[in-house]
């Protein structure tokens, strides 16, 4: 049994998800127990700064270095806080904060390799917490020609696959991603797992809510505002023609594509129609839902028996209802949509748990990627190891 902390701030940039877990086994016998899970919101000024960098605002190298260290400090503080009333953790897996993601094979790029930058350097987290820390999980996969994402699929496979059921695990964070899990009893089960980024999750919805409320709200709680409107289907059909949605996996994306510029184009498009604010939010919700379902119909070997959703979007009742309706259109057997909580996996902390497992695997020399998901040429161990030297901890306050 190893006590590990997983840390991540995702593409919603809402704060640090921290999970303290006990992990045992390796792969087929992998087991986790969630001892504590918490989200520590970013201080508003830090969030603004990160969002500006994600939206491509110019930043000097000195400011970048400062931002990297500030993020490392708040991540280290989150690791300290999550251990309150628990024995000290032995290891930290820190994803950090993505501020830039370029998938591989971008036309016009001078290299076919991808690039993905996560801030919050692990060596500082290690020294501030006194706990060995693993970070930079995406770079080794990318160096092998992979997308560097989604990485959760291998963890989903070992923690959430079912003996007889075909499952989709659908994360709806800022960006959406799916892992398709054939039954474990199936021949070549692990090689048949697939996954990809489906497109926007909540990123456009959140930006629209901020725009519509002049910044006084950051998201549409439970999807209530969107539920007051009606989706404009011709617009959804137009938006779905975008090349990303047509591309076959492996594929990954981020706020570079589904961010502020994308929302500006949506705002220009809605002028052709008389849409209320509620209609606009319902239409963006429908884009998320339709992009998920279309990708299942186009790229899955078989539609799943059930879909298990996770991430903040799983709390959006309207989105969940639309997903179930859309999935079951023209379907002979009903495909239920549940949350991962309903099969014993925290929907809020699944990603943080995944980075705890990836760190645990890295420590044991076990590969973290699935080549059919990321497109990498080989399975590799993921993450750079930062060991704490001579057991001394540097104090956060002194920095």
Residues that bind ligand ATP (CB under 6 A): 10-12, 14, 171, 173-175, 201-202, 205-206, 219-223, 311-313, 315-316, 351
Q: Which lies closer to ligand AH0 via its Cβ, residue 100 or residue 211?
A: 100
Total count of residues recorded for the chain: 399
- Among 181, 351, 357, 362, interactor with ligand AH0 by CB under 6 A: 351
Closest contact distance (angstroms) between CB of 73 and ligand ATP is: 19
Q: Which lies closer to ligand ATP via its Cβ, residue 6 or residue 182?
A: 6
- For tokens 């006194």, name the residue: 130
Closest contact distance (angstroms) between CB of 112 and ligand AH0 is: 18
> By three-state DSSP, how is residue 243 classified?
helix
Among 292, 103, 288, 310, CA closest to 195: 292
Per CB under 6 A, contacts with ligand AH0 among 216-245 are none
Residue 255 contacts which entry, ligand AH0, ligand ATP, none (Cβ below 5-8 A, type-dependent): none
Using alpha carbons only, what angle is made at residue 9 by residues 383 and 214, rounded to the nearest 5 degrees?
Answer: 150
Nearest-angstrom CA–CA distance, 9 and 99: 10
DSSP, res 230 = -
Using alpha carbons only, what angle is made at residue 291 by residues 103 and 185, rounded to the nearest 5 degrees?
Answer: 85
User: Three-state secondary structure along 254-271?
Assistant: CCCCCCHHHHHHHHHHHC
Closest contact distance (angstroms) between CB of 236 and ligand AH0 is: 21
Q: Quick one: how far is CA 281 from the chain centroid?
A: 22
Residue 145 contacts which entry, ligand AH0, ligand ATP, none (Cβ below 5-8 A, type-dependent): none
Residue 116 contacts which entry, ligand AH0, ligand ATP, none (Cβ below 5-8 A, type-dependent): ligand AH0
- Among 175, 178, 204, 232, interactor with ligand AH0 by CB under 6 A: 175
Q: Which lies closer to ligand AH0 via its Cβ, residue 127 or residue 177?
A: 177
Nearest-angstrom CA–CA distance, 28 and 44: 42
Name the binding residues for ATP.
10-17
DSSP, res 319 = H
Closest contact distance (angstroms) between CB of 399 and ligand AH0 is: 26
Closest contact distance (angstroms) between CB of 361 and ligand AH0 is: 14
CA dist 189 to 115, 148, 158, 239, 305, Å?
30, 22, 11, 35, 16
- Among 83, 98, 136, 314, interactor with ligand AH0 by CB under 6 A: 98
Residue 14 contacts which entry, ligand AH0, ligand ATP, none (Cβ below 5-8 A, type-dependent): ligand ATP
Residue 368 contacts which entry, ligand ATP, ligand AH0, none (Cβ below 5-8 A, type-dependent): none
Nearest-angstrom CA–CA distance, 126 and 93: 10
Closest contact distance (angstroms) between CB of 157 and ligand ATP is: 18
Closest contact distance (angstroms) between CB of 352 and ligand ATP is: 9
Site string for ligand AH0, 130-159 (x = CB under 6 A): -------------------xxxx-------
Nearest-angstrom CA–CA distance, 332 and 393: 60
Residue 254 contacts which entry, ligand ATP, ligand AH0, none (Cβ below 5-8 A, type-dependent): ligand AH0
Residue 150 contacts which entry, ligand ATP, ligand AH0, none (Cβ below 5-8 A, type-dependent): ligand AH0
Helix runs in the chain, H state only: 44-54, 61-82, 122-129, 139-143, 152-160, 189-192, 203-212, 224-227, 233-239, 243-246, 260-270, 277-299, 317-327, 350-363, 371-374
Per CB under 6 A, contacts with ligand AH0 among 4-23 are 10-11
Max CA distance (Å), the chain: 66
Residue 222 burial class via C-beta count within 10 angstroms: exposed 0-12, middle 13-18, buried 19 and up: middle
Residues of the shown chain interacting with ligand AH0 in the complex, contacts defined by CB under 6 A: 10-11, 98, 101, 116, 149-152, 171, 173, 175, 177, 197, 252, 254, 351
């Amino acid at each position: 049994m190893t006590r590990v902390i997983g840390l991540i701030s995702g593409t919603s940039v809402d704060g640090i998800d921290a999970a303290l877990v006990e992990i045992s086994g390796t792969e087929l016998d992998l087991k986790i127990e969630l001892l504590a899970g918490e989200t520590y919101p970013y201080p508003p000024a830090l969030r603004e700064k990160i969002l500006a960098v994600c939206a491509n605002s110019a930043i000097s190298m000195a400011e970048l270095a400062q931002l990297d260290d500030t993020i490392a400090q708040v991540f280290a503080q989150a690791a300290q806080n999550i251990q309150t009333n628990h024995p000290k953790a032995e290891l930290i897996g820190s994803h950090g904060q993505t501020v830039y993601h370029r998938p591989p094979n971008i036309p016009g790029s001078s290299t076919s390799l991808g690039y993905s930058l996560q801030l919050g350097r692990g060596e500082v987290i290690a020294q501030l917490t006194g706990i060995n820390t693993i970070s930079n999980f995406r770079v080794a996969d990318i160096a092998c020609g992979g997308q560097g994402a989604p990485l959760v699929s291998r963890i989903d496979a070992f923690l959430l696959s079912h003996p007889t059921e075909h499952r989709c695990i659908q994360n709806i964070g800022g960006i959406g991603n799916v892992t398709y899990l054939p039954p474990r009893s199936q021949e070549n089960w692990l090689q048949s797992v697939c996954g990809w980024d489906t497109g926007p999750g909540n990123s456009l919805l959140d930006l629209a809510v901020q725009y519509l409320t002049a910044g006084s709200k950051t998201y549409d709680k439970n999807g209530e505002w969107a539920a007051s409107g009606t989706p404009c289907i011709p617009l959804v059909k137009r938006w779905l023609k975008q090349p990303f949605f047509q591309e076959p996996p492996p594929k990954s994306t981020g706020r570079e594509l589904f961010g502020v510029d994308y929302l500006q184009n949506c705002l220009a498009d809605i002028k052709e129609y008389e849409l209320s604010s509620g209609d606009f939010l319902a239409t963006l919700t429908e884009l998320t839902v339709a992009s998920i379902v279309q990708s299942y119909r186009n790229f899955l070997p078989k539609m799943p028996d059930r879909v298990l959703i996770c991430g903040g979007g799983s709390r959006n009742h309207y989105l969940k209802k639309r997903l179930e309706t859309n999935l079951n259109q023209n379907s002979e057997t009903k495909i239920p949509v549940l949350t991962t909580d309903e099969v014993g996996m925290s929907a809020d902390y699944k990603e943080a748990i995944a980075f705890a497992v990836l760190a645990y695997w890295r420590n044991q020399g076990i590969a973290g990627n699935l080549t059919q998901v990321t497109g990498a040429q080989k399975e590799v161990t993921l993450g750079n190891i930062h060991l704490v030297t001579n057991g001394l901890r540097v104090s956060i306050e002194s920095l």
